[in-house]
Chains A and B, each alone.
Chain A
């Protein structure tokens, strides 16, 4: 049940790499890092808007995995396991930091439209509308951003999100609804925004 719905080949590849890594194969470990570091960074950035902290956490996660590779077992999928572990690390570190700094570094976050493979589909879509969604997404509270990332961008199932975010099923559904609702509100806000700002941002995103 709890398998990330990536294609079977990538799941097979993942578990192959994971087994190799557990045997001490550094090349396999490097493959895993290559495949998942950016994705993890993206995920971490939805939880906290602090680039350096998220980078530290991703790095630490991989070191911990290597250190404990003999005792690790992976049920379900690697992606799911990595997301789950990263989340705990980020929250732990963010909590610690909050004690020391009242105001830590806020990096400029950006959720930018990406040219995807769905080029035919994308042509149908009004680019302005798409931009507005991207900008609205940026303005969402962290938890809602996170759940949108997991549900619609990573296409995880509610059951998986439930465990990763440590929420019960009802709360997952409510948060999703709330996130979609505030996304729509934000979109309205953005649509109202001045032409000038939208234009320059548009070019920035297209650049």
Chain B
């Protein structure tokens, strides 16, 4: 399951999607809306996505994980629209025979998601100002190659 949604994310959707009888571990990650950025109070967040491309890129990340760890049970869902403090913006589930690979693959999925999946976050500050968030430095090191 690779999905962009405007609905509340419970985590059950990704957990169920990776269920497998040979799994000894399911690693579940939630990204949640924090009430501040570097100490500045955030009122709420708005996420925007390019859904068909985002879902395609999520599927590609899953293929990368299959190659690196041999894990083929990965699910990702990201919410768009207005999100309040504490709400879940993204959930990733990875099922694997053993936990070590599952934790690594889940971490990898999130890192890649922030690099190649077209989703944008806008912070609306408590004072009413808004700002599109700039990416981490890692983004610029991992840009798809330009010719």
Chains A and B form a bound pair: no
What is the interface of chain B, defined by CB distance below 8 A to chain A?
none
What is the interface of chain A, defined by CB distance below 8 A to chain B?
none
